[in-house]
Structure 1
């Protein structure tokens, strides 16, 4: 069996992008576990893409002939892309909504098991599969397989299933987006809320990629290799993400030494006391006058944009002056607003579900938990106490 390796300049860029994607996905998942499952799904989506790109790198360079055991190891991740993307969209727009996520992973997990019929084949089988795709002029190896690599006869439809999975989950994501837009009275191409607009843009980006992949497979044949187009696109995407992360990092806004030891969180902050007073005033105005907390997609980054300050500075002022985290601050405003609505005459006519939506929560359980934590009563008990008094 031949084992020729050819590495071109593009292959180096691909490898760098893969390592960057792996690191970024780890960073997103690690931090997302503390704040938002949407970030976890986004990180897993990126990691799946990186693993697919890594196998394409092995195939393009010929390194796969030296580690034939890894041939098609990434195939199951084709079916993880759709679910991870859909769950990222759903968790971003409805962060507190409970959902049966396991349903979405039936096909990917099944394929993880099923692909072992192929992975357990002799290396000659994998070598022949590789050269049929990349080097059809090479002489195939002689091999006798003792069991079928595709007992159900479905691996031959792997590309078709990938296309169906991607498009089905894109449609599901679109339904979730349209539902959210309807609830906030926004149009798909005229969105004023930054976070929803970002989600819309992510959806458009992914549906274009899915349609491009599908079109190329249909036009060139399902067994054709479209990695030479998709993988460079992936590299550009990763480099753009890396640039956005580094360009927005506050770490680079100040002098530093590689010999620095960890210091207090805001010890090197450039904010003066007058600046902190000004930022605090803007935060209070946005919360108390404009009721930014009532937006169920409100975020620290969104608040920072509203008052034209950096996220780091807004977080610092909330922590130092109010002795709260951003989420604790929002929760306190939402509960106080709920108490106000309940005290008003119209409040007695509100259902708890309507109250939840008005104050900015996405789920009744999260609202009840926050309300009871601050008042020691559930919203229903609080309403009854008002009637008694």
Structure 2
């Protein structure tokens, strides 16, 4: 059965938002994959929300009936987006719960497992389901189900559970933000801290999206009014893209139209003087306090020691020193080990003992780092 395609201004705006969201998320993820965990979570959040919008656009226009294998493909992402936003907030502010971050992916993985029963259904089931959720008055096809598409009977409560999921994470994120502003002696509504401002504004947008979601689901049948949500999200993506372009270093360099530039398109939120201050504090911790000697040394621990965010500390290390945090840590540890190995005491200590004195728990890790930096093993260096 042929279902007519419906294209209007709303569909065009949402489609533009989808493409722009996928484009922005790709570059944010690519730039932050190695050493910027907060931005990685934000990139994944924008990717998830863009894919959800794509599914909504397919439903709104009727294209879903031409690609039935994509039916409800983004549903598990409903239980991932708020978690990613919370992880962005947590890793941006302190990152103390880093080892438990995987827990926040469980709801989405669980829902994906539930949706597999639907994904494996024949096209007739997906065709009739799409007609139902879009409230379209067309004849249904004969179904030939060999097993239930919802054996646990929970997918009928998808919208309710999604709303609860978002509200829970909004509460968790807001609590963390309020505690951070309180510890900084500032107000959430009046703060000069750019990081807190950014997180506050993002949180407000998500609260608005959640309110729109609740109003839409209580006003319209199933997915009929979802385009109102996607219009607001498209606006958010447009504003994000404009902010990226306005802060890009592209405008400070030689124009490269029709040329693929290699630019850091997102300018640091820190002033140069702030970067220099953070750098001085980092070097002080390393050289005066010997922070690198701690076997539990971490980016978040160093950030806490100098009262900064892990994101800013990582950024300054990358920009000012040209290394990652772990490369910087290894440099100081190996330098200290070289100094020890040159002493009479160092000639009596075992390599394991030297490794422990400079912060390594593993002899192999120590040997690997030492050889990478000096081109010699610790034993060879001592003998030379």
Q: 2:6 is paired with a residue of what secondary structure?
A: coil
Q: CA deviation at 1:328?
A: 5.9
Deviations 1:215-270 (A, max 9, x none): 332x326725331201111221111111111222121234434477989x99xxxx
Q: Distance in 2 between matches of 1:43 and 1:259?
A: 26
Aligned residues of 2:45 and 2:84 also touching (Cα < 8 A)? yes
Q: CA deviation at 1:135?
A: 4.4
Q: Is 1:331 aligned to residue 282 of structure 2?
A: yes
Instruction: Pick closer, same or farther for the CA change 1:262–1:14 going to 2, 3 Å.
Output: closer
Aligned residue in 2 for 1:43? 43
Aligned residue in 1 for 2:189? 189
Q: 2:153 is paired with a residue of what secondary structure?
A: coil
Aligned residues of 2:69 and 2:119 also touching (Cα < 8 A)? yes
Q: CA deviation at 1:139?
A: 1.3
Q: Distance in 2 between matches of 1:138 and 1:250?
A: 53
Q: Is 1:301 aligned to residue 261 of structure 2?
A: no
Aligned residues of 1:15 and 1:54 also touching (Cα < 8 A)? yes
Aligned residues of 1:79 and 1:162 also touching (Cα < 8 A)? yes
Q: 2:99 is paired with a residue of what secondary structure?
A: coil
Alignment of 1:339-350 (within 5 A): none
Alignment of 1:351-370 (within 5 A): 357=304, 359-360=306-307, 369=329
Q: Distance in 1 between matches of 2:100 and 2:11?
A: 40
Q: CA deviation at 1:5?
A: 1.4
Aligned residues of 1:49 and 1:81 also touching (Cα < 8 A)? yes
- Give me the CA root mean square deviation: 3.6
Aligned residues of 1:337 and 1:359 also touching (Cα < 8 A)? no
Q: 2:80 is paired with a residue of what secondary structure?
A: helix
Q: 2:33 is paired with a residue of what secondary structure?
A: helix
Q: Distance in 1 between matches of 2:259 and 2:165?
A: 49
Aligned residues: 316
Aligned residues of 2:188 and 2:196 also touching (Cα < 8 A)? no
Q: CA deviation at 1:59?
A: 0.9
Q: TM (normalized to structure 2)?
A: 0.72
Q: TM (normalized to structure 1)?
A: 0.71
Q: Distance in 1 between matches of 2:302 and 2:12?
A: 55
Aligned residue in 1 for 2:34? 34
Q: Is 1:234 aligned to residue 185 of structure 2?
A: no
Instruction: Pick closer, same or farther for the CA change 1:374–1:126 going to 2, 3 Å.
Output: same
Aligned residues of 1:124 and 1:142 also touching (Cα < 8 A)? yes
Q: Distance in 2 between matches of 1:170 and 1:200?
A: 11
- Decide which moves more: 107-116 or 368-377: 368-377
Q: CA deviation at 1:157?
A: 0.7
Q: Distance in 1 between matches of 2:309 and 2:253?
A: 38
Alignment of 1:1-389 (within 5 A): 1-95=1-95, 98-217=98-217, 219-220=218-219, 223-258=222-257, 300-304=268-272, 331-335=282-286, 338=289, 357=304, 359-360=306-307, 369=329, 373=333, 376=336
Q: Distance in 2 between matches of 1:262 and 1:223?
A: 44
Q: Distance in 1 between matches of 2:193 and 2:146?
A: 59
Q: CA deviation at 1:49?
A: 0.5
Q: Which runs of 5+ in 2 are unaligned?
A: 291-299, 311-324, 338-353, 359-384
Aligned residues of 2:282 and 2:306 also touching (Cα < 8 A)? no
Q: CA deviation at 1:358?
A: 5.3
Q: Distance in 1 between matches of 2:158 and 2:87?
A: 22
Q: Which runs of 5+ in 1 are unaligned?
A: 267-298, 308-313, 319-325, 340-352, 383-389
Instruction: Pick closer, same or farther for the CA change 1:95–1:101 going to 2, 3 Å.
Output: closer
- Decide which moves more: 197-206 or 10-19: 10-19
Q: Distance in 2 between matches of 1:19 and 1:12?
A: 11
Q: 1:35 is paired with a residue of what secondary structure?
A: coil
Q: Distance in 2 between matches of 1:85 and 1:162?
A: 15
Q: 1:192 is paired with a residue of what secondary structure?
A: coil
Q: 2:270 is paired with a residue of what secondary structure?
A: helix
